[in-house]
Chain A
Amino acid sequence: MTIHLAKMRMGMSQMISVITKQSMLIQQDQDVVPFRNRVKECAVKLKMGLVNQTKLITAASELVRNMLKYGRGGQVVIEAVSKRNQFGVRLIFIDKGPGIPDIALAMKDGYSTGKSLGLGLPGTKRLVNEFDIESAVGVGTKVSIIKWCNG
């Protein structure tokens, strides 16, 4: 697991610098609204356009629901990041839930173990610029997304 994490950091954080960082605990349904507002604030500060803001917040909403539904809540890190000349928002969702046994299957459109439409993960991936997921059964799941302001 630690090797995994180190590998991911190298892959994704290369050249990416973090400008601001805040973290939030998500434990219940009602936490979702303040969380979405914080993401919006962060995006507005970076002067992200309205369509990209909407895509980012929708993606965040999907992932936070997954975290609540399957992972019994967890932690979200909201970061303003930059890479070369572009700015963006990175969100990292960490839960200690059951994990996803088959990530490829979970990323398929229309697949769901719950009663939902199965759009959450694949749909989210379409809405953001960078999408990273790692999961270990019995340990938890970590999803990391980036939406660039001009992406």
Chain B
Amino acid sequence: MEKIPILRMGPFLLVTIQVDLYDRLALNLEADLIKTISDTNAKGVLIDISVVSIVDSFMGRIIGNIASMSKILDAETVVVGMQPAVAITLIELGLPLTGVHTALNVERGMELLRAKVNLDDYSSSEDEDGYEPDDQRDY
């Protein structure tokens, strides 16, 4: 079974959808993501759909669900990189994705997340994971 990876980046989760979505895969992503938010105490989720060539009503609904579910778990969701043709199609289909924050690209999406999330009260299990916030390596 294919799986969409969920990367952790400090207080945020990063999901880049690189494959063609079908319903079961989208449903699994929804479940995985919500579980990961709860496990890692994440404050924000960034979903990059720049290589997704179609979003139909089901996937649109899943995106909306993820946003509402993470909101309940005190995490903000930003969807970034939607292709123009996908945006046109979604609106004609009748799915305006209200309630989902969007940004043009990953960079702006991260800015938006940082602006939305108050990180003062963020405490994670960083030490247990051996996560080094002061890592100065060049990536």
Q: Is B124 an interface residue (CB 8 A)?
A: no
Q: Is B115 an interface residue (CB 8 A)?
A: no
Contact residues in B for A40 (Cβ distance below 8 Å): 53
A51–B85 touching, CB < 8 Å: yes
Min CB–CB distance B139 → chain A (angstroms): 32
Q: Chain A at the B interface: mostly helix, strand, loop or mixed?
A: helix
B57–A123 touching, CB < 8 Å: yes
Q: Contacts A54-B54, A58-B56, A62-B56 given; indicate if A127 touches B22 (C-beta within 8 A).
A: no
**Complex Cα spacing A51 to B23, Å:** 22
Q: Is A53 an interface residue (CB 8 A)?
A: yes
Contact residues in A for B34 (Cβ distance below 8 Å): none
Q: Which of B9-17, B39-47, B92-100, B125-133 lies at the binding interface?
A: B92-100
Tell me how many residues of B have a C-beta within 8 Å of chain A.
Answer: 21
B94–A54 touching, CB < 8 Å: no
Give B residues with C-beta under 8 Å from A.
Answer: 20, 22-24, 53-58, 61, 83-86, 88-89, 92-95
Tell me how many residues of A have a C-beta within 8 Å of chain B.
Answer: 27
B89–A127 touching, CB < 8 Å: yes
A116–B92 touching, CB < 8 Å: no
Min CB–CB distance B22 → chain A (angstroms): 5
B95–A51 touching, CB < 8 Å: no
Contact residues in B for A54 (Cβ distance below 8 Å): 53-54, 83, 85-86, 88-89
